[in-house]
Chain A
Amino acid sequence: MQRRGRILCTATALVLLAAMSATARQDIEVLPEEARLVPEEAFGTRVLPAPTPHWIYVLDVAFDNLVASRVNIFDGDSGDFLGVLHSGYVPNVLPAPNRREVYVVETYWTHGTRGRREDLVTVFDARTLEPVAEIPLPQGRALIVSKQPVAQLSDDGRFLLSFNLSPATSVSVVDLEARAYVGEIEAPGCSLVYPTGARSFSMLCPDGSLADVRFDASGTAEVVDNDPFFDAENDPVFEHAARDAAGRTWYFVSYDGRIHEVGYDARGRTAPRESWSVLTEADAAEGWRPGGWQLVARHPGNGHLYLLMHKGPKWSHKWPGEEIWVLDPEANRRVARIPLEEPAVSLAITGDDSPLLVTLTDTGVLSVLDPGTGERRRRIEGAGVTPFLLDSFAP
């Protein structure tokens, strides 16, 4: 046994040395035998079971040490901590539709905070949490405190679309199947990515309009401008928006509490439908307004929108939500209010048939609520030091 152990160790060391030829030597042979004893019991590395739609990926951007962010993974049903993905500077986290992989779009410097900058998409195995592929992004990526529309997947999950801000604006297209960067789509002046199909997405422009983009597998794209649908000077929409993919609708929320509904067709051409205020006159008089970070989500069953609301003055758009307002976008009215025991900066609703409503405080408290009753089922501390975003797998 001991001899076999030694051969194994030597072989491992050789493989390690070959793989990392430029790294420090590991002469474990000089250690005494006791340091390399092989326990009698089975000893290995745990592998996660198949992910469920109730697994919550909490992105902690680590604001006081941005080069070393992390993604803490929790089971929303049990509250258990499942594992961690370590990530780079202001990353984006995208659980794959196939539920086998998690994509992290991230930036590193070769010497930590110094050295050559590298931008890449890292493909993690969702069960082993090991990186299985790295796809370089030669055009870099936008370095923005992580927001979901900075990187998105095409509806079929084949392409990753990563926003660039150099500060000229464009979108990098990555073929996840081929594990290769395909090209860059120029969209001067317009920002972020709102998917509208397998080969289309839209971008928000400074004048309050959307630019509609259609692209093919070679990265060739057609960009069409539209007229403004909101007042970008006086009442801009938040970056985070909610989507009804089956109903081909995006719901954008404005600083002053208007919902702007934008429909799109099979070719990804958008058209504004209607806009309405979530505030009654009495609500407005009380100073209610939307705010936070990832502030809106759509219930996949009944289509209701869940929106973080607080009382505050104009320009308090980043204040955490004291309540969640449940809104019916068919009837254009509020159907419920959920007061929060702890004000939340972000919320999410899982995509399955019996979804969880999840909220996050800026101190890293994750809460799991019943989206129907608003009752808090679970409170999980230590979700992150400065966590911002919540992601989960589609069912």
Chain B
Amino acid sequence: MREPSLLDRLVERVTRRVAQKSSRRGFLARLGATVVGGVMLPLLPVDRSGRLRRAHAQAFAEQAQTRDDTACNYWRYCAMDGYLCTCCNGGVAECPPGSEPSPTSWVGSCINPDDGQVYLIAYRDCCGKGVCGRCPCLSTEGEMPVYRPQLSNDIDWCFGAKSMVYHCTTAGLVGRA
């Protein structure tokens, strides 16, 4: 087993707090009260426990590649659900013209086949324009139902953006998991 990183420890601590029945309500209620500029910012705990098991990410990684970010099997898209912003004249971490990056995201842990390492990926929707409609991709590696929102890719993740209208999805690199 590798040594847990600082991020891992932080995440696990938050997850444990949420998992504790007694503190769940109070904790999330406090989160719910965090209002910035009139927009409720989601600060749901990042829970990656299900995703960090290499075996889970492995199936996607086996057919993944690191060259073409407009293909569904690009390594960062292991938990992608939506239209690729890279096919809509955006980037893997850049929104297409006229759309706005959501400040919030769901997460996945994907293996980079070049170095075999697990990386934390933030799937960030670009918002404020209608659906781009190019390169639909659905990957469900470690994807959870909507009652575990941070790991669910069926949710419109434009929380905190000016508009909840969904355009496309990016896959930003957070760091080594």
Binding site for B on A (CB under 8 A): 63-67, 89-90, 107, 109, 112-114, 117, 142-145, 147, 165-169, 186, 188-192, 203-207, 209, 225, 232-234, 236-239, 313-318
> In the complex, are the beta carbons of A143 and B156 less than 8 A apart?
yes
> In the complex, are the beta carbons of A166 and B131 less than 8 A apart?
no
B50 within 8 A of A: yes
B40 neighbours in A (Cβ, 8 Å): 166-168
B146 neighbours in A (Cβ, 8 Å): 142, 144, 147, 165, 191-192, 239
B101 neighbours in A (Cβ, 8 Å): none
B175 within 8 A of A: no
Task: Give me 6 other A-B pairs in contact (C-beta within 8 A), A109-B163, A189-B25, A206-B18 excluded.
Answer: A65-B130, A142-B146, A188-B24, A239-B146, A317-B140, A318-B138
> In the complex, are the beta carbons of A66 and B31 less than 8 A apart?
no
A67 neighbours in B (Cβ, 8 Å): 130, 165
> In the complex, are the beta carbons of B154 and A145 less than 8 A apart?
yes
B129 within 8 A of A: yes
B165 neighbours in A (Cβ, 8 Å): 66-67, 89, 109, 113-114
Query: B42, B49, B59, B133: which contacts A233 (Cβ < 8 A)?
Result: B49
CA A145 to CA B129, docked complex, whole Å? 17
- Whether A165 contacts B154 in the complex (CB less than 8 A), given A113-B130, A188-B24, comes out as no
B149 within 8 A of A: yes
B104 neighbours in A (Cβ, 8 Å): 167
- Whether A234 contacts B130 in the complex (CB less than 8 A), given A191-B149, A315-B140, comes out as no
CA A349 to CA B130, docked complex, whole Å? 34
- Whether A239 contacts B147 in the complex (CB less than 8 A), given A168-B32, A317-B140, comes out as yes
Interface of B is mostly: loop
**Interchain nearest-CB distance for A56 vs B (Å):** 23
A89 neighbours in B (Cβ, 8 Å): 165
> In the complex, are the beta carbons of A317 and B143 less than 8 A apart?
yes
A-B contact pairs, 25 of them (CB 8 A): A65-B130, A66-B166, A67-B165, A109-B163, A112-B130, A114-B163, A114-B165, A117-B163, A144-B156, A166-B42, A166-B159, A167-B104, A167-B155, A188-B24, A189-B25, A203-B147, A205-B24, A207-B24, A225-B21, A232-B147, A233-B50, A234-B50, A236-B145, A236-B148, A315-B142
CA A13 to CA B21, docked complex, whole Å? 61
B142 neighbours in A (Cβ, 8 Å): 315
CA A233 to CA B53, docked complex, whole Å? 12
**Interchain nearest-CB distance for A361 vs B (Å):** 15
CA A143 to CA B163, docked complex, whole Å? 12
> In the complex, are the beta carbons of B145 and A239 less than 8 A apart?
yes
> In the complex, are the beta carbons of A167 and B149 less than 8 A apart?
yes
**Interchain nearest-CB distance for B134 vs A (Å):** 9
Binding site for A on B (CB under 8 A): 18-19, 21, 24-25, 28-29, 31-32, 40, 42, 44, 47, 49-50, 56, 59, 104, 128-131, 133, 136, 138, 140-149, 154-156, 158-159, 163-166
> In the complex, are the beta carbons of A167 and B159 less than 8 A apart?
yes
A107 neighbours in B (Cβ, 8 Å): 164
The residue in chain B whose Cβ has the minimal distance to the Cβ of A313 is B59
> In the complex, are the beta carbons of A143 and B145 less than 8 A apart?
no
A188 neighbours in B (Cβ, 8 Å): 24-25, 28-29, 32
- Whether A315 contacts B59 in the complex (CB less than 8 A), given A144-B154, A233-B50, comes out as yes
**Interchain nearest-CB distance for A128 vs B (Å):** 30
> In the complex, are the beta carbons of A63 and B136 less than 8 A apart?
yes
> In the complex, are the beta carbons of B156 and A90 less than 8 A apart?
yes
CA A190 to CA B27, docked complex, whole Å? 13
> In the complex, are the beta carbons of A143 and B21 less than 8 A apart?
no
**Interchain nearest-CB distance for A351 vs B (Å):** 25
CA A143 to CA B127, docked complex, whole Å? 13
Nearest 3 CB-CB pairings of A with B: A168-B32, A143-B156, A113-B130
The residue in chain B whose Cβ has the minimal distance to the Cβ of A143 is B156
CA A238 to CA B147, docked complex, whole Å? 10
B21 neighbours in A (Cβ, 8 Å): 207, 209, 225
B32 neighbours in A (Cβ, 8 Å): 166, 168, 188
CA A318 to CA B49, docked complex, whole Å? 21
> In the complex, are the beta carbons of B149 and A165 less than 8 A apart?
yes
> In the complex, are the beta carbons of B131 and A167 less than 8 A apart?
no
CA A166 to CA B42, docked complex, whole Å? 8
A191 neighbours in B (Cβ, 8 Å): 146-147, 149
CA A225 to CA B28, docked complex, whole Å? 15
The residue in chain B whose Cβ has the minimal distance to the Cβ of A112 is B130
**Interchain nearest-CB distance for B107 vs A (Å):** 14
> In the complex, are the beta carbons of B18 and A189 less than 8 A apart?
yes
The residue in chain B whose Cβ has the minimal distance to the Cβ of A140 is B164
- B130, B147, B159: residue with the most chain A Cβ atoms closer than 10 Å: B147
A192 neighbours in B (Cβ, 8 Å): 146-147
B149 neighbours in A (Cβ, 8 Å): 165, 167, 191
The residue in chain B whose Cβ has the minimal distance to the Cβ of A223 is B25
> In the complex, are the beta carbons of A315 and B56 less than 8 A apart?
yes
B130 neighbours in A (Cβ, 8 Å): 65-67, 112-113
B18 neighbours in A (Cβ, 8 Å): 189, 206-207
CA A353 to CA B140, docked complex, whole Å? 38
